[in-house]
Every structure is written in C-alpha cells, then in structure tokens.
Amino acid sequence: MPQYLSPGVYVEYVPPASLPVAGVATSVAGFIGVVADNVTMPQQPGQFQNDSDGNPVLDDQGNPVPAPYELTTAGEPTLITSWEEFKTRFGDFQEGNKILAHGVYGFFFNGGSRCYVLRVAAATDIDNPAEELEKFETVDEITIVAVPGAISDIQHTAIIAHCAKMGDRVAILDGDADQEPSNVSGIRPVGRSQQASYAAIYYPWIKVFDPVSNAPDTIPPSGHLAGIYARNDATRGVFKAPANEVIVNALDVSRPISKAQQDGLNPEGINVIRSFKGTIKVWGARTMADDANADFRYVSTRRYFNYLQESIDDGTQFAVFEPNNLALWQRIKRTVGDFLLNEWRDGALFGETPEQAFFVKCDAETNPKEVRELGQVVALIGVAIVKPAEFVIFRIQQTAGE
C-alpha cells in the first residue's frame, strides 16, 4: 500500500479480481485448396533476380529480370488478411489455383477480413482432406472451415468430423451442383446426424465473372458464404442467421430452384441459393443436424453456442489453481452472469427479463465434496437462444361489404 506524506485526496487504481468475459472472434475462416506448383507468381515491386553468384539476371535487352514472389509451401496454414496478400502468397487468378482463388476472393469481397489458407499441390491431395485438416487443429482462432469444390462423401465426412472434434468451428459444404434438386443423397452425400450439426451445406453453385476466361464461370459458393458469415457477424451478430443475404459478386446460380423444389430440400438440411429478380440470395439457415438434435437445427444456434462456450471458457481461466471455495464460485457466477447479461441486452438471448433469458449456478450443489476432491469446479449455465423466424405466416381476413 502506498504511503501518503501530506493531507489530500488520492485516487488509487484497484485491479479487478477477475477480468470480464470478452467475446471471441467468430468469423476467421480456414480454407484448403489446390494451388499447383507451377502457378505464375506476381512480381515483387523493386526486386530483381540474382544468379547463384549474386549477380543480377538480365533479359535479352540487358535489363534486370524482376523477382517474383515466392509460392507458399504446401501444407502450411498461412494467415491471409486481404485478397492482395493472397495473390502474393498463392498467385492471381489462373487455372492452377482457380477454385481456391475464387473462394478466397469471394470471402473478402463479401465481408471477410481474416482467414488461413492451406494449399495442396494437386486435387488428389484432398480426395480425403483429413490429414490437411489436422493442420488446422493448432490454429485455435479458426471458426469456419471450407474446402471449396469438395463434394464427395469422404471429403464431407472428414470436414464434419474435424469441426465436431474441435467443437469451436463449423463447416461450410458445397453440394454437388450436377445433381437434380430431387436427388437429396446426391447433393448431400453425408446423412444428417448429431455430428453434422457442425456443418451447413449449400446448393446450387453460383456464377461469377472469371478473369481467366474473361467470361462468367460456375464456382462452388462456400468461400462466398464464409464471407457472408463474417459480414453478418459484424453487422448483426453471430446470433443472427446468415440467410436472406445477398451474395456479392454472384451473377447467377448454376440452376434455378423453385419454391416447390426448395420445399423438398429445406427439411433435409440443404440450404438453397436462389435468384430473386436477378439478385442472388442465401435462402436457407439450417445445419445438417438430425431430428434428435433439433436444438442445433439452425446455423445461427450452432455458431452462437460455439461462441458462448469458447468465450466463457477463455474468460474463466482465472479460476484455474484458485482455492475452490465460495468466493471462487461467486466470482465465476458474477463474471459469467455479467457476460450473459450483455448478450441479452444485445438481443441474442430470448426473454423479457434476464431471469427468463439465462441462469448461472455455481455453488455447493454443483460442487459437492467429491467434485472438489477431483480438483474440479463446476458451473451450470443455461441460455435461451433466439431462433430465426424461418417461416413468417400472415393470417389475412377479408370482410365482405354489406
């Protein structure tokens, strides 16, 4: 305690016993895709090639040869924060990287700001991307995973398994655009399940302008969808479903889907991309959860629960190695309660009062002697998450004139 030598008023900073829970990032994407070893890399401004002896390499006219950027090594998750940075690491649009490049471009163009990219040299390297997905396990901030163009049973199974194992991220899957709307198992080769609540699948593909062919081209939508997730999180919040959103840069869909056709796809957990008077919109908000896991039927519910879980876990690390007593339980209850109160005020939790929206219980009942002897402190947390209004129903009554 400081000593004061003369009369007066003194202001002291008293550090809090525990810091408030801070919400974690929700829109950091992880992309896996093909970038061939022979792609052409852009030139580095002001940099020139040297030979093995350190002498400048000259062209036929005697001018220094510009040095290209170095292609990023395959198999390494690389943080990318802009489309321009992607080009310096993996090259501009070209045949050797086209699908991945369009996906990452769509991510940034639709609102994404931060992603990790892992390149493979050939498409056969991701026939089963399980090994590549393991590289993402060490990147804790990834919350969205996409392998643009992956449509097989094996690929979808691996991506879903990775997200379910990590428990803090969701998969955005591409449905097979060549399948008819009536062929559910062709579009969505992996069945609905508890594990698949960590995944959302979108169909059909979209058409965008392709600089390689200088014409419209059909590409998988997963990269653009990841950008929409990010945009929606920034403007509305992770608790809002990323649906009824415009896909920026999309010119059309690969095939038009009618309302009647969507009626057969929506209950199967297939989110449809539709054209409304020339505007391309995401018109679905479901995960691939089965009926037994209806609590996580919606993408927003799954992602918001992941957000709460990760935020509370990070925000209560102060409890580790603290004395497991009443004072600690009260700190946990107060810290988590304050966080959830702010979430309720932001409209993320359902209820007219905080008591209706959430509860936090951390006391002798949740922490009996046998639990404390195991070195554990247990808090029971309940939340009422807002669900999207998927069906808006109007009841219209006409009154006959007398």
Domains of the chain in sequence order: 27-299 (3.40.50.11780), 320-401 (no CATH)
Write the pLDDT tens digit of every residue in 361-377.
Answer: 999 999 999 999 999 99
Q: Which tens digits make up the pLDDT trace of 108-124?
A: 999 999 999 999 999 99
pTM comes to: 0.90
Q: What's the mean pLDDT when you consider all of the chain? A: 92
pLDDT of 402 reads 44
What's phi and psi for 298, nearest 5 deg? -105, 145
Q: Where does the pLDDT of residue 394 fall: very low under 50, low under 70, confident under 90, or very high at 90 and above?
A: low
Tens-digit pLDDT profile for residues 131-169: 999 999 999 999 999 999 999 999 999 999 999 999 999
* Phi, psi (deg, nearest 5) at residue 46: 75, 10
Which residues, in sequence order, are bridge partners of residue 281? 246, 274
Whose CA is closest to 309, among 6, 24, 10, 3?
Answer: 24
Cα 156 from chain centroid (whole Å): 16
CB of 143 closer than 8 Å to CB of 30: no
Q: Which residue type is seen at 19?
A: L
Which residue carries 């008591």 as its tokens?
355
Q: Are 77 and 120 a contacting pair, CB within 8 Å?
A: no
Task: Flag whether pLDDT at 69 surpasses 80.
Answer: yes
Question: Band of the pLDDT at 57, cuts 50, 70, 90?
Answer: confident
Residue 67 has pLDDT above 90, yes or no: no
Between the alpha carbon of residue 359 and those of residues 51, 244, 377, the distances in Å are: 68, 32, 17
The whole-number pLDDT of residue 142 equals: 98
Cα→Cα distances 356→239, 340, 350, Å: 17, 12, 7
Give yes or no for a contact between 213 and 189, defined as CB atoms under 8 angstroms apart: no
In the structure, what pLDDT confidence band is assigned to residue 216 with cuts at 50, 70 and 90?
Answer: very high
Q: Cα(336)–Cα(21) distance, rounded to whole angstroms? A: 7
**Pair type for strands 270-276 and 279-283:** antiparallel
Give yes or no for a contact between 53 and 104, defined as CB atoms under 8 angstroms apart. Answer: no
